[in-house]
């Protein structure tokens, strides 16, 4: 095998396999808690499809064995974890994602243009949703009446799902003194104020991309 260029680690196929298994927390010693799994993997993808069980629960079971699913709800409610774009992430990474949250509705691409127009047409619906969450706290999606003046229609599988899409939109548009809505696909909706953003700090938009990319490449615990 020729020598690797300076600064490049060359692995055999067997070493690469061991590194991949260890990096995914599938080798001994394994993680001891839900928070440790998510912190070391960098995120936990969520998906409501449950042929056997929900994706996030399968991942946790494969790393921890038997565990208490209610602990994931508790960590989300305590804001030790947060959800963003179908991923559950550690609280310590919140500042890395704030720049993309702030940019979510900006720009001239078709998606943000559509969302801005849709929110404008459904201002009363948005106010109603946020008022319900302020007054009643965590609610299942089914408990929120669909009062959309203009239904969500983008030609995808979310067509007609105006309540979930309304919950997605204000969550990503973080403003001072505005509710930050975090949708929990574990089955509830967790609602907090924008003060949560102040507690975890922030970053300038240009400063957020590099550390966020690095965070997606967690250190491998290869033997």
pLDDT, tens only, 105-116: 888 989 889 999
Place of tokens 């229609």: 153
- 170 plus 151 within the same structural domain: yes
Predicted confidence (pLDDT) at residue 215 exceeds the cutoff of 70:
no
Distance CA 76, CA 190 (A): 8
Asked if 129 and 166 count as a contact pair (C-beta separation under 8 A), the reply is yes
Phi, psi of 72 (to 5 degrees): -65, -45
Backbone torsions φ then ψ of 193, nearest 5 degrees? -95, 170
Do both 64 and 128 map to the same domain? Answer: no
Q: Are residues 106 and 190 in the same domain?
A: yes
| Residue 13 pLDDT | 92
Relative to beta strand 188-193, strand 179-184 is antiparallel
Query: Is the residue at 210 inside a domain?
Result: no
pTM, 2 dp: 0.68
What pLDDT, on the 0 to 100 scale, is given for residue 194? 42
Based on the fold, state whether residues 105 and 193 are members of the same structural domain: yes
Tell me the per-residue pLDDT of 156-179, one tens digit each, with 9 for 90 and over. Answer: 888 999 988 888 765 434 333 334
Kindly state whether residues 103 and 181 are assigned to the same domain: yes
Clarify whether residues 108 and 194 are in a common domain.
yes
Residues 60, 112: one domain? no
Give the model's pLDDT for residue 9: 81
Residue 179 counted as domain residue: yes
- Of the three residues 39, 62, 91, the one that is the final residue of a domain is 91
Residue 166 lies in a domain: yes
Q: In the listed set 91, 121, 147, which residue is the last one of a domain according to the structure?
A: 91
Residue 17 has pLDDT above 80, yes or no: yes
The pLDDT value recorded for residue 114 is: 93
For residues 143 and 185, state if they share a domain. Answer: yes
Does one domain contain both 119 and 191?
yes
- Say if 80 falls within a structural domain: yes
- Where would I find the H helices in 137-184? 162-172
48 and 116 part of one domain: no
Whether 28 is covered by a domain: the verdict is yes
Tell me if 30 is assigned to some domain: yes
Q: Are residues 70 and 124 in the same domain?
A: no
Indicate whether 127 belongs to any domain. Answer: yes
Question: Over 90: is that where the pLDDT of 149 sits?
Answer: yes
Q: What own/partner pairs with CB < 8 Å and gap ≥ 24 does 90-94 have? A: 90/35, 90/38, 90/39, 91/200, 92/39, 92/200, 93/42, 93/212, 93/215, 94/197, 94/200
Instruction: Identify the domain containing residue 159 by its residue range.
Output: 99-200
Q: Is the pLDDT of residue 181 over 70?
A: no
Residue 92 CA to residue 176 CA, distance in Å, equals 20
Region of residue 16 (phi > 0: left; psi between -120 and 50: alpha; otherwise: beta): alpha
pLDDT of res. 10: 86
Q: Domain total for the chain?
A: 2
pLDDT tens, position by position, 60-112 = 999 999 999 899 988 988 888 888 878 899 988 888 888 887 777 888 989 88
Pair (153, 118) in one structural domain:
yes
Residue where a domain terminates, one of 65, 91, 117: 91
Closest among 120, 219, 97 to 166, alpha carbons compared: 120
Asked if the structure places residue 23 within a domain, the reply is yes
Reported as a pLDDT band with limits 50, 70 and 90, residue 32 is very high
Q: What is the pLDDT of residue 3?
A: 65
Q: What is the CA radius of gyration of the chain?
A: 20
């Amino acid at each position: 095998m020729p020598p690797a260029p300076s600064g490049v680690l060359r692995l055999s196929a067997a070493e690469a396999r061991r590194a991949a298994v260890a990096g995914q927390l599938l080798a001994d010693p394994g993680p001891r808690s839900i928070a440790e799994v998510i912190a070391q993997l960098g995120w936990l993808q969520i998906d409501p499809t449950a042929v056997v069980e929900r994706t996030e629960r399968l991942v946790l079971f494969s790393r921890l064995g038997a565990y208490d699913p209610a602990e994931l709800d508790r960590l989300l409610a305590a804001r030790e974890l947060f959800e963003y774009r179908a991923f559950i992430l550690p609280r310590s990474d919140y500042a890395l994602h704030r720049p993309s949250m702030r940019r979510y509705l900006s720009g001239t691409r078709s998606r943000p243009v559509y969302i801005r127009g849709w929110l404008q047409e459904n201002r009363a619906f948005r106010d109603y949703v946020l008022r319900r969450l302020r007054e009643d706290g965590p609610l299942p999606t089914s408990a929120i009446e669909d009062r959309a003046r203009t239904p969500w229609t983008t030609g995808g599988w979310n067509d007609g799902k105006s309540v979930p899409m309304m919950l997605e939109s204000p969550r990503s548009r973080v403003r001072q003194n505005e509710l930050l809505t975090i949708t929990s696909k574990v089955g509830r909706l967790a609602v907090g104020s924008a003060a949560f953003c102040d507690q975890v700090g922030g970053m300038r938009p240009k400063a957020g991309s590099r550390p966020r990319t690095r965070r997606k490449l967690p250190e491998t615990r290869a033997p």
